[in-house]
A and B are shown apart, each in its own frame.
Chain A
Amino acid sequence: MLRLIGLIPLLPVAGVVINGLFGRRLSRRAVGLVACAAVGAALALSIGAVVQLAALPEGERSFEVSLGSWLPLGSIDGREVGIDWGFALDPLSALLLLVVTGVGFLIHVYSVGYMAHEPDVARFFVYMNLFMAMMCTLVLASNLAVLFVGWEGVGLCSYLLIGFFYDRPFDERTGLSCADAGRKAFIVNRIGDLAFLIGMLYLLLEFGTLHIGELGRAIGAGHASEAFLTGAGLLLFFGACGKSAQIPLYVWLPDAMAGPTPVSALIHAATMVTAGVYMVCRMSALYSAAPEALAVVASVGALTALYAATMGLTATDIKKVLAYSTVSQLGYMFAAAGVGAYTAAMFHLMTHAFFKALLFLGAGSVIHALHGEQDIERMGGLRSKLPRTFWTFGTATLAIAGIFPLAGFFSKDEILWSAWSTGHRAVWGLLLLAAIVTAFYMTRLAWLVFCGEFRGSAATWGRVHESPASMTVPLALLALLSIGGGWIGIPKVLAAGADINVVHHWLAPAITPVGGAAVHGAAQGGSAGSAGRGEHGAGDEFGAGTGFDEEGEFGSGGASGTGGERGAAGEFGAEGAHAVGAEHGAAEELALIALALVAAVAGILLALAIYRRAGVAQRLARQSGPVYTLLRNLYWVDELYDAAIVQPFYRISRISGAFDRWVVDGLVNAAGVGAEITGHVVKLFQTGFVRNYALMFLLGAVAILYYLATV
């Protein structure tokens, strides 16, 4: 099975081919069946592969296949450079692969129900399958070039799917149609992708390879200057900002909600938007070697987390609320990666995939039930009508708010802890605030939708109905995942000292922590960083200590490409303060956990307090005055971009357009006229009598023949 990973991206392509060619002739159910089967097969194959991977001893849990050379680039300053069409499966990609195919499969099943009343389903599923294929390519890519293919591919699919209802209007505030939304997403992503491409090419020129593993080794060997690495890292990160909707390129994601809800769930919540985070973790070797870049990542992430969350406060479109929440959660992940806790980032990525997909699907179910109504101002009290949706949605809400013991709790808490313990207190603060806000607006959302009085028309109320099984079953499954999904990452302190944090042991080999030190350092939430510091000398002891706990494992695991001897150094650094460090860290961590919980609960209660009784919210809005309008209009960022970038661009375009029309076309026309004049002369030869032509022909032939015979 491991050898077959090349097939994983191809299986969905089969679905694409079948539905793409015969979709119009197949029945709706057949189309759905094909699509789900394709993805299901991919899922099965992935599970098989990952199981086999897990069976391998921890050291060599990395498998690569090359489907042959793709871009033989010749030699770049002396080195023979060629890019293979290579796939790699290692713990990191395995995790995301499972998430992608698993969630993807559930969402496909869900879509069968959701799209039941929509026009050309075939096209929809073709795009969806194509997306799955591209996403799998992205995840499995063993070198940046292939990753970029997937990267662009998912971008394309996202564009296609956002604009799926290309003929429908979307946003009355900005007056976008769905097609516009798609275009917006595409263009904004292009900006990021360009940066990504440039960064990629820089790496290629510097190291003569794009293979991620080799890059890691090359960087670890310390050939490249830190400045260069920082630059490359930032470029790549800018690309990630585009794909994962971070400041300043987040604007497309809210509008991406123009797509059908399953799409929002799959692409704009669970998988594609997390590609950026994945990329950063994948390139951990690079980022760990470039602290400045990492700092930028962290700060951007943290800022986005809070910023987007605040915008979520006032949005009234159910899906937009979720969109902002997605942006902010992505901010969380970047923040985690930024403080060096890549594992935490991936962990949160996974749990987030579960509960955010669940939230979207729940929202979809609501919209489905209300026949396309998306404005929460016209919802309410749906709980009685949609019990299943309510319960699952509720679960997800608690999960994202970070209530113990749901998935969100563990991952979020871990991020907070890593931020704190690595000394990024500011990041920690922002994230904590974001957590409160998150809890608040999620509760608001849930309440406005499911509780209180129904604010829509009675007619609608009459027609509300619970969704079919094909939708509710995935909901249920995802609910289970968002409850239990976090238990694979239970921190030590809560496990009474027992080390049952599966995620870390799993991911460790694929991660290069900051300073390349003790791989398992991340076990206690990003203390990897501090362990690294321990090695640098200026370390705070509990980090080093906790880092030390894992040294033994690291020594045996021995999977880090680079940090061998440094790990040892870390060990020495940790030696002394080991005993004190452990429980000191534990106590502090417990305190932080409690704090996070309190924050979440506070947010929830506050929301309830405000929205339980009607009118309170409105009064609040009136009193807060400018703040409210600011939020309501999303800080006028769209308008800002429009004025600062789009309009000038249009003006330039008009000028160059004029140039083209008068100068370029002028030349062309001149050529045309010239040809015409010549034609008027030459046409005299064309008598229309075949035999004259033959005669001319013959004369020419005779002339040539004479020439040949004489000369």
Chain B
Amino acid sequence: MQTLAFFVLTVLAVGSAAVVVGPWVKNQVLCALALAFNLVSLAGFFFLLDAQFIAFLQVIVYAGAIMVLILFVLMLLNVQDERRLAAARPFQRWLGPAAAVAFALIVVAAVRSGGGALRYPQPSAGYGTVRALGLELFTRFFYPFEAISLLLVVAMIGAVLLAKRRL
């Protein structure tokens, strides 16, 4: 059951990611939608991993806010399709993918050889619930939490300053 869900999700996630990444899709709005799909499928992963709260957060913040923002910008700027890859720097074309693949391979190999557990243990009661995370967040991670909120404020101001024509 889980495994089935896992495979389905994997296919969806990787596929949508490929759509976003692959230079063969020129239409940026499509890519954005694919990314949104990818994010939702990741939320599915989180559900599978008993991280309810994070899953919801993923959907609300990522799919619901960030992606909408990106879509908004795409439509606002009404950007035309991406042009073909310039042939100017060919090594970019093969070296890049090669490095990326190498990266993935190394990680997978490391994970395999690391010989970590093959199965997840039984989660403790109330794992991944809002309460559990909330407690952690406001006790041990209180200052990081405040810091991140500060970061948000700064980012907001920065965005306004950058995007506004006249202040």
Chain A residues within 8 Å of B, Cβ to Cβ: 687, 689, 691-692, 695, 698-699, 701-702, 705-706, 708-709
Contact = CB atoms under 8 A, between A and B. Distances in A.
Given A692-B89, A709-B106, A709-B110, 15 more contacts: A687-B89, A691-B92, A691-B96, A695-B92, A695-B96, A698-B103, A699-B95, A701-B103, A702-B99, A702-B103, A705-B107, A706-B102, A706-B106, A708-B110, A709-B107
A603 B26 CA distance: 108
A698 B89 CA distance: 16
B110 to A, nearest CB: 4
A449 to B, nearest CB: 63
Q: Which 8 A-B pairs have the closest CB atoms?
A: A709-B110, A698-B99, A709-B106, A702-B103, A705-B106, A702-B99, A702-B102, A695-B96
Interface in B34-66: none
B109 interface: yes
A705 B92 contact: no
A684 to B, nearest CB: 14
A705 B108 CA distance: 12
Interface in B70-117: 89, 92, 95-96, 99-100, 102-103, 106-107, 109-110
Contacts of B95: 695, 699
State the majority secondary structure of interface residues on B.
helix
Nearest to A700: B99
A653 to B, nearest CB: 48
Contacts of A699: 95, 99
Nearest to A698: B99
Nearest to A709: B110
10 contacts: A692-B89, A695-B95, A698-B99, A698-B103, A699-B99, A701-B103, A702-B99, A702-B106, A705-B106, A705-B107
Nearest to A691: B92
Nearest to A708: B110
Contacts of B106: 702, 705-706, 709
Contacts of B110: 708-709
Contacts of B96: 691, 695, 698
B103 A705 contact: yes
Contacts of B102: 702, 706
A639 B109 CA distance: 87
Contacts of A692: 89, 92
A701 B102 CA distance: 11
Contacts of A709: 106-107, 109-110
Nearest to B101: A702
A698 B100 contact: yes
A689 B85 CA distance: 13
B71 to A, nearest CB: 23
B113 to A, nearest CB: 8
A256 to B, nearest CB: 51
B101 to A, nearest CB: 10
A72 to B, nearest CB: 29
Contacts of A708: 110
Contacts of A698: 96, 99-100, 103
Contacts of B109: 709
A706 to B, nearest CB: 6
Q: Considering residues B99, B107, B110, which has the most beta carbons from chain A within 10 angstroms of its beta carbon?
A: B99
Nearest to A699: B99
A687 B92 CA distance: 13
Contacts of B92: 691-692, 695
Contacts of B103: 698, 701-702, 705
B105 to A, nearest CB: 10
A687 B100 CA distance: 21
A709 B112 CA distance: 11
Contacts of A706: 102, 106
Nearest to B96: A695
A674 B99 CA distance: 34
Nearest to B102: A702
A695 B107 contact: no
A234 B39 CA distance: 82
A532 B148 CA distance: 75
A158 to B, nearest CB: 46
B104 to A, nearest CB: 10
A277 to B, nearest CB: 56
Contacts of A702: 99, 102-103, 106
A687 B86 CA distance: 14
Contacts of A687: 89
Contacts of B107: 705, 709
A698 B100 CA distance: 8
A698 B106 CA distance: 13
B167 to A, nearest CB: 26
Interface in B117-158: none
B115 to A, nearest CB: 13
A692 B99 CA distance: 13
A15 B95 CA distance: 70
B95 to A, nearest CB: 6
A689 B100 contact: no
Contacts of B99: 695, 698-699, 702
A695 B100 CA distance: 9
Contacts of B89: 687, 689, 692
Contacts of B100: 698
Nearest to B103: A702
A689 B91 CA distance: 13
B51 to A, nearest CB: 26
B154 to A, nearest CB: 23
Contacts of A701: 103
Contacts of A689: 89
A708 B110 CA distance: 9
A679 B110 CA distance: 38
Nearest to A697: B99
A692 B90 CA distance: 11
B103 to A, nearest CB: 5
Nearest to B111: A709
